[in-house]
Amino acid sequence: LKISIHKMDIPVPYGPAFEGERIRKEDMQIEIGGPGVPAFEYVCTKEIDEVEDGKIQVIGPDLDDIKPGPGVSLGIMVEVAGRKMQPDFEPIFERQMHRFLGEAQGLFHMGQRDIIRHRISKEAFKAGFRIKHIGSIIHSQFHSNFGAIVDKVQVTFYTKREDVERILKDVRAAYAERDARLKGMTDDSVNLFYSCTLCQSFAPTHICVVTPERSGLCGSVSWLDGKAGYEINPTGPNQPIERGKVVNDTLGQWEGTNSFIFNGSNRSLEKVSLYSIMTDPMTSCGCFECISAMLPMTNGIMVVDRDFTEMTPCGMKFSTLAGTVGGGLQTPGFMGHSKFYLGSRKFISADGGLGRVVWMPKALKEELAETLTKTAAELGLEDFLNKIADETVAQTEDEVAAYMQKVNHPALAMAPMF
Ligand code: SF4
Ligand code: ZN
């Protein structure tokens, strides 16, 4: 038996008790990332001789020389090497960093990839915590959790905005390359789906069923990630789900998925539709990228993402909606989901699909313009993006309905939603 203990050299307490610990604005030394601030977390695979195990570098100023407050740029580049390492595992490691970093007292971790938003508390700073200590955590946790796969880990931090901006170009290209591998795969082309139960720590009945055309609702677990997660850890949160016999093709219900959810939800849920928001929708934990909500007067749905903090046409802000939808409940008419799923041909296909979308924030529409335009065209929806209202033309359900009349929105001609 080989036991390797990688001592973590950090000046603050560490453990599961601190996961999810909030750091209020007045208590934070700095906030990393956030809207408009370039920042990223990226794990990449290297050759064994390209990585020096335990090397931690901070390129640019560390906390002593960073102005306290929000808006801090940071690039976290984690380079790993190992005989069993595969590029397919990179996103899994990235996702786990949420837990690894969140377990340090005084370090709050949110988001992933290039949408991170972390805080370091004043208290931690006073205790001697510096950026380089994030590297110690990553190094030791990667060894203790992925020891079977990873032999060497080195971490480089970029703290100058211009460096982060420059490197982010390559990092985004790498994210895009990962995502592209999934394109072209359909749910019908695979025999197995994968579960993700990572969020059961705070939403005990929640299970994401991850398929090629529907990623986990946090947006960071694709079908390929589920598959890789299972290979890394066969008893972990990603398990294969055999679809089995069809219960309802349109809704996206199979005997295999239903029974998996029944057993995995502590027998609290019997049925889940993968393609419907109205009939047995998938549950939501809390880390969804977007929420869809029915707008009864419009015969359609609105979609809002986390970055949009204003009031929405359903009369609730994202934060209030999140409280209604989250926690592992099944709430017909409401659903948390990833941005990826919104652009999927299977997006609420049982309820009429993308054509049901009547409102979304302008920024989200712009961000997803390419994929939404493509999917809309495939579904035969003409000039569809311009028919979706946003906050610049409609802020209430009435105004959305009026806008729909003006542009002749396709949802007007669809069957009633309920
Ligand atoms: Fe897994 Fe879903 Fe949680 Fe993402 S939201 S970590 S896919 S359970
Ligand atoms: Zn979650």
Mind listing the pLDDT tens digit of every residue in the chain (418 residues)? 344 455 688 999 999 899 889 999 999 999 999 989 999 999 999 999 999 999 999 999 999 999 999 999 999 999 999 988 988 889 889 988 999 999 999 999 998 899 899 999 999 999 999 999 999 999 999 999 898 889 999 999 999 999 999 999 999 999 999 888 877 789 999 989 999 999 998 899 999 999 999 999 999 899 988 998 898 889 999 999 999 999 999 999 999 999 999 999 989 999 999 999 999 999 999 999 999 999 999 999 999 999 999 999 999 999 999 999 988 889 999 999 999 999 999 999 999 999 999 999 999 999 999 999 999 999 999 999 999 999 999 999 999 999 999 999 999 999 999 7
Looking at the domain assignment, is residue 6 inside a domain? no
For residues 195 and 159, state if they share a domain: no
Atom of ligand 1 minimally distant from the CA of 288: 5
**Cα-to-centroid distance, 416 and ligand 1 (Å):** 31
Verify that 324 and 407 share a domain, yes or no. yes
Joined together, the tokens standing for residue 269 give 């849920």
Query: Are 176 and 315 part of one and the same domain?
Result: no
Question: Quick check: CB of 354 below 6 Å from ligand 1?
Answer: no
56 plus 135 within the same structural domain: yes
Residue 203 CB less than 6 A away from ligand 1: no
Closest CA to 119 of 137, 135, 131, 136: 131
Question: CA-CA distance, 301 to 30, in Å (whole number)?
Answer: 38
Same domain, yes or no, for 301 and 228? yes
Largest CA distance in the chain: 71
Within a domain: 43: yes
Residue 7 lies in a domain: no
DSSP 207-249: -EEEBTTB--TTS---HHHHHHHHHH-TTSS--EEE--SEEET
Same domain, 274 and 379: yes
Type of residue found at 168: L
Are both 368 and 397 inside the same structural domain? yes
Ligand nearest to the CA of 98: 1
> What's the confidence (pLDDT) of residue 148?
84
The number of CA neighbours under 13 Å toward the Cβ of 418 is 13
Cα 268 from chain centre: 25
111 Cα: distance to centroid of ligand 1 (angstroms): 12
Last residue of a domain, one of 134, 158, 182: 182
Q: Is 218 in the pocket of ligand 1 (CB under 6 A)?
A: yes
- Cα dist from 91 to 44, 380, 414, whole Å: 9, 34, 39
- What angle is formed at CA 325 by the lines to CA 320 and CA 327, rounded to 5 degrees? 110
- 105 inside domain: yes
* CATH number of the domain enclosing 109: 3.30.1650.10
Q: Are 164 and 40 in contact (CB under 8 A)?
A: yes
Residues 143 and 214 grouped into a single domain: no
Quick one: pLDDT at residue 45? 97
- Check residue 8 and give its pLDDT: 85
Q: Are residues 336 and 387 in the same domain?
A: yes
Distance CA 304, CA 291 (A): 5
pLDDT of residue 220: 85
**Cα–Cα separations (whole angstroms), residue 57 to 43, 93, 142, 395:** 15, 20, 17, 48
**Residue type, position 128, single letter:** G
Structure ipTM over 0.95, yes or no: yes
Q: From 182, 204, 239, give the residue that closes a domain.
A: 182
Query: Is 29 inside a domain boundary?
Result: yes
Domain that holds residue 70: 16-182
The predicted pLDDT at position 418 comes to 79
Predicted pLDDT at 180: 83
Do the domain assignments include residue 143?
yes
Q: How many domains does the chain have?
A: 2
Q: Bridge partners of 290?
A: 305, 337
User: Do 265 and 301 share a domain, yes or no?
Assistant: yes
| Sign of the alpha-carbon torsion through 19, 24, 25, 29 | negative
- Same domain? 301 vs 386: yes
Cα→Cα distances 358→46, 222, 238, 344, 407, Å = 45, 26, 34, 16, 11
Do 261 and 405 fall within a single domain?
yes
pLDDT of residue 184: 75
Q: CB under 8 Å to 10, separation ≥6 — which residues?
A: 104, 129, 133, 136, 137
Ligand 1 neighbour 360 (Cβ under 6 A): no
Hey, which of 115, 195, 217, 230 would you mutate to test ligand 1's pocket, going by the most ligand atoms within 8 Å of its Cβ?
217
CB-based contacts of 5, cutoff 8 Å, min separation 6: 144
What's the CATH number where 384 sits? Answer: 3.40.1470.10
Q: Is residue 347 part of a domain?
A: yes
Ligand 1 centroid–CA 261 distance in Å is 14
Query: How far is it, in rounded angstroms, from Cα 38 to Cα 169?
Result: 11
The CA radius of gyration of the chain, in Å to the nearest whole number, is: 22
What is the residue whose two structure tokens read 């996702």?
Answer: 95
pLDDT at 7: 67
CB 135 within 8 A of CB 56: yes
Token digits for 198?
A: 């990572």
Which among 134, 167, 182 is the end of a domain? 182
Specify the 3-state DSSP secondary structure of 44: strand
Evaluate whether residue 198 is within a structural domain. Answer: yes
